[in-house]
Structure 1
Amino acid sequence: MQLSMRTDYALRALFTLVEHRGGPPIPILELARRNDVPKRFLEHIMLDLKEKGWVASTAGKRGGYQLAKNPEKITMGEVVRHFDGYLAPIACVSVSDYKRCTQETTCRFRRVMLTARNLVANLMDRTSLADVIKSPVVSPDELRKIQGIDGEGI
């Protein structure tokens, strides 16, 4: 599963707002800077998040964005589906974006892809933004160890 840039940037902004929940609004320029996201692109994403009811904006000199919904009530699955539309690795196992494949009656790897889709969807649907913020960051060394990669680079 590969997240779109739009989803990646939305999650970055949401995580920043979760971390600063209860604080003053964060201006769009500051939100863009903290998350290494182009301001113009982030403006469109934030409007989308506002329409969804996940963030609120305040106008004026001290204005900016704040989380509008409890982060325990927003799941990773919801955010990814909102921006990308699906969680499935291939369209023929998608629940929300199913597309028939010419190889459905003979496909040997569809079952594996269906299992992968279900595992990812279940994890994403039960993981809230608050859960993500509570978990430690994965270091490059830890990632290499988990992936079984020797040497430098990921």
Structure 2
Amino acid sequence: MKVSKKTDYALRALFAIAELKDSSISIRELAENTDVPRRFLENIMLEMNKAGWVKSTPGRYGGYTLAKDASEITLGEVIRYFEGMIAMISCVSVSNYESCSQESKCYFRRVFLNIRNLTAQILDKTTIASCLAQVPITKDDIYTEEFIGGLGI
């Protein structure tokens, strides 16, 4: 599964806002801090406001804050909101299921179903708050010994 820039930017914004606790942040500061184009971010923030994750305070000293506690927002709900599905292929998706002519004889479909289920399980248990409690990973973490032979991971 690969998430779109829009989802990536939405997650960046949510984490930047959550780090501030109860302080608000202007759209200008948020765009600068997250390295997201301001015009694109403005639209994303409107969508996240509509979803109930953020709220905005108008005015000179206004800005964005979380509308929910960071422990109540899961990565799964954010990704589903912006991506539509978590499954890597649509023949194992619940929300965007599309039939395939090979379903009755497909031997690898179960693997993708298992991947979908495990991915959804992890994303639905992972909250903004639980991520903030961790240390950011390093490039060395990505290149662990067990995955060195897995080109394209």
- Quote the RMSD (CA, aligned, Å): 1.4
Equivalent residues in 2 for 1:1-154, closer than 5 Å: 1-23=1-23, 25-145=24-144, 148-149=147-148
Alignment TM-score, normalising by the size of structure 2: 0.94
- For 1:15, what is the secondary structure of its paired residue? helix
**Gap runs ≥5 in structure 2:** none
Deviation string for 1:33-89 (max 9, x for gaps)?
111100000000000111111101111111111111011111110000001110001
- For 2:22, what is the secondary structure of its paired residue? coil
Q: Could you tell me how far 1:147 is from its partner in structure 2?
A: 5.6
- For 1:34, what is the secondary structure of its paired residue? helix
- For 1:9, what is the secondary structure of its paired residue? helix
- For 1:105, what is the secondary structure of its paired residue? helix
- Aligned counterparts of 2:64 and 2:148: Cα–Cα separation in 1: 40
Q: What letter corresponds to residue 78 of structure 2 in structure 1?
A: V
**Gap runs ≥5 in structure 1:** none
- For 2:105, what is the secondary structure of its paired residue? coil
Displaced runs of 4+ in structure 1, greater than 6 A?
none
- For 2:41, what is the secondary structure of its paired residue? helix
Deviation string for 1:112-142 (max 9, x for gaps)?
0000000000000111111111111110011
- Aligned counterparts of 2:88 and 2:146: Cα–Cα separation in 1: 20
1:108/1:52 Cα in 2 relative to 1: closer, same or farther (>3 Å)? same
State the identity as a percent. Answer: 49
1:130/1:106 Cα in 2 relative to 1: closer, same or farther (>3 Å)? same
Q: Could you tell me how far 1:146 is from its partner in structure 2?
A: 5.6
1:40/1:146 Cα in 2 relative to 1: closer, same or farther (>3 Å)? farther
